[in-house]
Amino acid sequence: MGRMTSPFDYTAVTPDSAREAVAAAEERATAIIETVVAVPAAEQTFANTVLPLDEVRATLALASGRYGFLSNVAPDDALRDEAHEIDRRIATYTTSIAFRDDLFAALTDYAAQPEVATLGPIERRYLDHVLRDFRRNGFAVGAAARARVQALKERLVTLGVDFRRNIDEADEALWLEREDLVGLPASYIERLQQRQFDDATGSGTRYRVSLAYPELYPFMDFAEREDLRRELFTLNQNKAAEVNLPLLEEAIATRDEIATTLGYVSWAHYAIETRMAQTPETAVEFLRDLEARVRAKADLDIAALTASKRTHTGDPDARLEIWDWRYYQQRVLRERYEVDSFAVAEYFPLDATLDGMFAVYQRLVGARFVEVPEPRAWHPDVRLFDVEDDAIGAHLGAFYLDLHPRPDKYGHAAAFTLRPGRELPDGTYETGISAMVTNFTKPGPGTPSLLRHSEVVTLFHEFGHILHQVMTRAPYARFAGTSVQRDFVEAPSQMLQHWVWDAEVLAGFTHHVTTGAPLPADLLARMIAAKHVASGLHYLRQLFFARLDLAYHGEGRTKDTDAIARELHAITGFPFVEGTHFQAGFGHLFGYDAGYYGYLWSQVYGDDMAARFAEGRAVEGGAGDEVVGRRYRETILEAGGTRDGADLLRDFLGREPGMEPFLREIGL
């Protein structure tokens, strides 16, 4: 059975205890490395030369998950400040390991040992990847160049920490009066922060609309006032611009210097070398081909939304603007398909949706999720669950859910590995622990949290990452869970999003917040019929983000990020809004740098993986999901990064992957 106890006590963490624990972790890692480099060449084995590096990785990953992770979620300012410093410290220390001449020499000596020829495929993959890391850090160039690369990589750590922190701590908002909020339901307005005013303009109540997702997106979707939609859009597009634009430009130049010092044409060539695409040219070709396919659908979308705007405004010459498209998408959904996203949300109370999602995933992968009564987490809102094998009750892992926004918290949605799974020397398995961090509306007194369907998609997607992280059985931390090629990592989660459109699945857990009635079949049918409203515009925006990222990391040291954004913005189908700097708040430019294309690249595979479940139902009938789900668990979740993404796909699919399910899914 599962432990039913908290694996960590986050409530006891202080800035001092965190600092001391991380220092101890670094000392332990250093001691392990010193032991490795002291082994005489004649006595080297995988066990004493390569395997200890995984212990180093696990030690640092645990320190990051226990303490550095708190930079994203700690409500206490002092602890969050210390956690940001810990993030920087661990990343810098980790970078330094891969520049140690003595460690490289030890591994090079071991690579020449006869034992290497007898290694299993995962062990050989580990050795090859470690040697590849050293080559990519400059061990094929001179010592002076390598030292420069190390300094540049350490600088990138600081730039990344600061860039992300500036985004998380951005606090811009509009203060509006009640009449400014026409179009938004009372349930939304009541949750906004309020303050009383009495000044020269009069007296009354003002409402704060921030850039937090539960406030931003409903406002852009439903607020009648176009001028205010434009104002909030512009505010969001300039998030952290003043502080982050210089950091981004320095990061781009730093990456380029690293790449060219190592003999690569650009950072994109350097970064994509280890991914499925292998070259930026392949990635750009994929994006251009997809854009050509999507463009016709996007033109139809613009025509339909423009017609809605002209009817709504009474202006026969009205032009659809970029701050309009979400609003008129919602109008088309209501008027043509009778789908109101706030009305749909009434069928998705958060707790019931969680239970329903758990039921889906438990059935698919043969597991049970059991809530731990005292999570001892970083915030009272956080919940903790143990994961158990449904057949034998064995403990498989654990995950935290931190679902609601609060000041200075990570502002998007993500799954964080807090402890990677791995096999211990005694043969037991140290299970993975992860955390899902999102920003869904928080329930209030008598007002439950209701999820719009798009938020249900996000919930299912991020929980797909959680499953990938905690159900891994990869023997080494390096290959645990989502430690796969970056342009494959989204595929399992994108595959699992398909269940939020399944009538049988939804009928099992949706219920109206007041009446208790399940989601009506005719409403779901209308939702499915409306699924591709403005899908072309959605994918053009994703293509713009991906092309922008690759352009920033293409050949050349100095980039005018505004000029590049302006030039490529035509991809979206809308004119560029002068005076905006979207890139300053584009957090994926650190972590997914030269890799954002991977979201679309991996969706091709995720949609084909979902099609494999449909094939299983055709063959196995009602048991199809469980049969294919077991295969998915074994070949994808448990394998982690022990094989390349293309091999994992072929193993799961039992065939070569295809693009047809993806094209159907995006409305083509």
Alpha carbon distance 158, 260 (integer Å): 21
Residue 610's nearest CA partner among 596, 621, 595, 624 is 624
Q: Is the confidence at residue 597, as pLDDT, over 60?
A: yes
- Report the distance separating Cα 241 and Cα 585, nearest Å: 7
Helix 535-552 × helix 598-620 angle, to 10°: 130
pLDDT of 446 reads 79
- Predicted model pTM: 0.93
pLDDT value at 623 more than 80: no
Any idea which of 449-453, 506-510, 540-544, 629-633 has the lowest mean pLDDT? 506-510
Structural domains for the chain: 10-140 (1.20.1050.40), 173-237 (no CATH)
What phi, psi does 149 have (nearest 5°)? -60, -40
Q: CA-CA distance, 104 to 95, in Å (whole number)?
A: 14
Q: Which residues pair with 368 in a beta bridge?
A: 388
Strands (E) located in 303-420: 367-371, 383-389, 395-402, 414-419
Residue 207 sits at φ, ψ, to 5 deg, of: -120, 135
Confidence tier at 429 by pLDDT (50, 70, 90):
very high
Question: Of 432, 476, 471, 422, which Cα lies nearest the Cα of 122?
Answer: 476
- Per-residue pLDDT reduced to its tens digit, 162-210: 999 999 999 999 999 999 999 999 989 999 999 999 888 888 999 999 9
pLDDT by residue (tens digit) across 395-415? 999 999 999 999 999 988 999
User: What are the catalytic residues?
Assistant: 462
Phi-psi region of 640 (alpha: psi -120 to 50; beta: other; left: phi over 0): left
CB-based contact 553:252 (threshold 8 Å): yes
What's the confidence (pLDDT) of residue 1? 46
Query: Using CA atoms, how far apart are residues 648 and 634, in angstroms rounded to an integer?
Result: 10
Q: Specify the 3-state DSSP secondary structure of 176.
A: strand
Instruction: Label residue 644 left, alpha or beta by phi (over 0 means left) and psi (-120 to 50 means alpha).
Output: beta
Burial category of 400 from C-beta neighbours within 10 Å (exposed 0-12, middle 13-18, buried 19 and up): buried
Q: For 323-347, what is each residue's pLDDT tens digit?
A: 999 999 999 999 999 999 999 999 9
Query: Which element (helix H / strand E) includes 193?
Result: strand 193-199
